[in-house]
Structure 1
Amino acid sequence: MKLSFLLLLLPLLSHAVKIKDISSIIGVRDNQLIGYGLIVGLNKTGDGTTSKFTLQTISNMLQSMNVKLDPKDIKSKNVAAVVVTATLPPFSRQGDKIDVIVSSIGDAKSIEGGTLLMTPLKGVDGRIYALAQGSVTIGGRNGRGAGSLNHATAGRIPGGALVEQEVPFNLYGQKEATLSLKESNFQNAVTIQNILNRFYKEHVAVAVDSRTIRLKKPEKLSMVEFLAGIGEVSIDYSAKQRIVIDERTGTVVSGVDIEVEPVMITHGDITIKIEERESLPAIGKEGTAQNMGQNIQIRAQQHAVITKPGAATVANLARSLKKLGATPKDIISILEAMKNAGAIHADLKII
């Protein structure tokens, strides 16, 4: 695993963003749909006789077409049972088309080239909101094409479902709405409240908590016009500093100015010591390397890193450890230990 250390060059503490990019309107949301169906037309790559639910489903389907057949008599391997999922966007109307994903739940080897038979898609309330049907696309040979799912037992049907029932939501007739911030922050909530009240020159917003702002539209505007205008208003957005670590790829993303407090950590044969000092020791002999721009010394023979708090940032520390020869796993473990010890105050997110 190769380490990739990325630095966010833009300031993370405060920058201008539009309100629509950091919030959502409560009630305006996607809805998840799910269904169970059959894919036919497979070239002997479908479910075998061990998937008894597939055979029973085939029998039930044929019976609805006045063809009575015992499941035990079905030997076809050209059919696969699948779970069908889709996302119903807000304000979808009857006749709109939405994409669906089909995933095998039996022992099928591949569903490539198959056709999904008409499958009802239900919401969490058990009501049917869409009907799915169509040819399955894997997205490339053996399902490994660009942007595709990475195996042949799952695929997509672009525009494969027709919306049959709408989710009722009368936004136009509303006089009030609620704005929900994507990240909890009291300062951002108050900032949005104040700037909206100044922008509209009346009391249209009130911050209820660190994520919620209640809105009351002006009399001269419709709710749609009001929300459209709010979304385009820019604010001075305060974002939390964050370190993102991808354990699978070894990628670490950090702001350039995230500091590390004085701390001493030993990890295997690597010792990290960050302390208050008036001046740094002189550079040693062979086997000692120094990052002059960051005031970080690396003693390869002793496996030690000594630095000053003023220059001890996550970015500099990671670069120094990499130069020392630490593995990506070591660097990730050290950052996690520093966070747990309270030496790093930024949020640590592992994906």
Structure 2
Amino acid sequence: MSRFRTRSAIMVATAVALALGYVAPVAAQDVALRGLGRFDGWRENALIGYGLVTGLAGSGDTRRSGVTRQALQNVLSRLGTTVSEDQISSRNVAVVMVIATLPASANVGDRIDVTVSSVGDARSLAGGTLLMTPLLGPDQHAYALAQGPLVAGGYNFESQLNQQQRNYPTTALLQGGATVESAVDAHILRKDGQVSFLLSDPSFSTARNISDAINARFGVGSALAKSADEVTVRYAGDPAQLTGFLAQLEGLLVHPDSTPRVVVNERTGTIVAGGNVQISSVAISQGDIKVTIKAENVASQPNFVSGFASDVRSLVVTNTKLDVDDSAGDTVVRFPNTTVADLVQGLFRAHVNTRRIISILQAIKAAGALHAEIMVQ
């Protein structure tokens, strides 16, 4: 294809893309307050424990793991059996770390999921059973007890130097395998009679809109936007009725001020941008210069009339050829004031690959024409 035809095709495709893209950006819709953040004090809590997994078919820790033998000895001694470490040689046991997440509000007897991962040199946890393991919080208090059969998402079999493995069998899941033993409840109402709402995406405009919506619903002075990520709400009612008040707050509709962002993932070639991300008038020159280097090694063998010479060796000669190819499809495309969606659509129709589009977006941002934050994953 000639250079003129290539340029014409790109310009036509770009013009079509721009013509299809001239649509007014859709205004952000009102969102319930619960979708914009959380109340201060309403948070999950991490739990951790240390235990043993038994019932492994020879895929547990080896004798090199002294921690495993000591842990098994401690468990058996608590159950009334006295054994020495030398008598423990089974590979059906593995030492594991157990982690879980305790909800912000939990009652005694609630079930939570548990993740188990090997600590020693076990090959697989498939088919194992976790023995009773207390799960501790940061205050070293046991909030839950975990026990039960494991579900591993893979396997590892080995025989006579042949090995087959799928996924990571040294990590397993115990669904509903932990029972909450200590009730927890979130403390949302502060001593001064205020409730704090924390924004997940800090924005001064959104914080002001939240404050205005609360004041319009509960009266002037009920809420105050303290910063871009916190809005305080005054509550003077009965603490027993706090749940109903918070339910009304969560249901309030607020107009959020979204931050313009362009998210690009170079590995998968994904580009995600809001429909209102604007680009000022810009001209893009896209072209390639391909450099090819070819090296050819040739050995020059010395010729002898007779005998050998210890100081004579073969000579290796390298011939290098350098080729520079200017792409015949170079073009310059001009975009008026438009959006990222229009730009990406036009470049795709111009057969510009994703990797180049990412470079173009970064160049436009550096030129000051892209009015958004670029996040590269």
- TM-score calculated relative to the size of structure 1: 0.77
User: Partners in 2 of 1:160 and 1:344 — Cα distance?
Assistant: 50
Secondary structure, in 3 states, of the residue corresponding to 2:197?
strand
Deviations 1:223-264 (A, max 9, x none): 111110010010112111222223332221112342334567
In the alignment, structure 1 residue 160 sits paired with structure 2 residue 170: no
What aligned pairs does 1:261-300 form with structure 2 within 5 A after superposition?
A: 261=280, 269=288
1:241 maps to what in 2?
Answer: 260
2:250 maps to what in 1?
Answer: 231
2:85 maps to what in 1?
Answer: 71
In the alignment, structure 1 residue 318 sits paired with structure 2 residue 344: yes
Change (3 A) 1:32 1:350: farther
1:28 maps to what in 2?
Answer: 42
How many residue pairs match? The answer is 309
User: Partners in 2 of 1:331 and 1:198 — Cα distance?
Assistant: 46
1:345 maps to what in 2?
Answer: 371
2:216 maps to what in 1?
Answer: 198
Contact 1:93 1:163 in 2 (8 A): yes
Contact 1:39 1:115 in 2 (8 A): yes
In the alignment, structure 1 residue 115 sits paired with structure 2 residue 119: no
User: Partners in 1 of 2:121 and 2:362 — Cα distance?
Assistant: 40
User: Partners in 2 of 1:78 and 1:266 — Cα distance?
Assistant: 65
Letter in 1 for 2:183: E
User: Partners in 1 of 2:284 and 2:71 — Cα distance?
Assistant: 60
Deviations 1:96-132 (A, max 9, x none): 1111111122222211111111111111222211111
Letter in 2 for 1:216: R
Secondary structure, in 3 states, of the residue corresponding to 1:14?
coil
2:101 maps to what in 1?
Answer: 87
Contact 2:61 2:121 in 1 (8 A): yes
In the alignment, structure 1 residue 43 sits paired with structure 2 residue 62: no
Secondary structure, in 3 states, of the residue corresponding to 2:255?
strand
Change (3 A) 1:337 1:47: farther
Deviations 1:125-146 (A, max 9, x none): 222111111111235x649xxx
User: Partners in 1 of 2:94 and 2:25 — Cα distance?
Assistant: 52
In the alignment, structure 1 residue 252 sits paired with structure 2 residue 271: yes
> What's the offset of the Cα at 1:19?
0.4
- TM-score calculated relative to the size of structure 2: 0.72
User: Partners in 2 of 1:251 and 1:166 — Cα distance?
Assistant: 44
User: Partners in 2 of 1:56 and 1:250 — Cα distance?
Assistant: 50
Secondary structure, in 3 states, of the residue corresponding to 2:104?
coil
Secondary structure, in 3 states, of the residue corresponding to 1:15?
coil
Change (3 A) 1:315 1:11: closer
User: Partners in 1 of 2:24 and 2:173 — Cα distance?
Assistant: 37
User: Partners in 2 of 1:193 and 1:223 — Cα distance?
Assistant: 19
Q: Which has the larger radius of gyration?
A: 2
Q: Which moved more, 1:149-158 or 1:85-94?
A: 149-158
In the alignment, structure 1 residue 216 sits paired with structure 2 residue 216: no
Contact 2:106 2:185 in 1 (8 A): no
Letter in 2 for 1:162: T
Deviations 1:74-115 (A, max 9, x none): 221111221111110011111111111111222222111111
Amino-acid identity (%): 36
In the alignment, structure 1 residue 182 sits paired with structure 2 residue 196: no
Letter in 2 for 1:253: V
Contact 2:104 2:185 in 1 (8 A): no
> What's the offset of the Cα at 1:15?
1.9
Q: CA RMSD in A?
A: 3.1
Contact 1:171 1:223 in 2 (8 A): no
Secondary structure, in 3 states, of the residue corresponding to 2:227?
coil
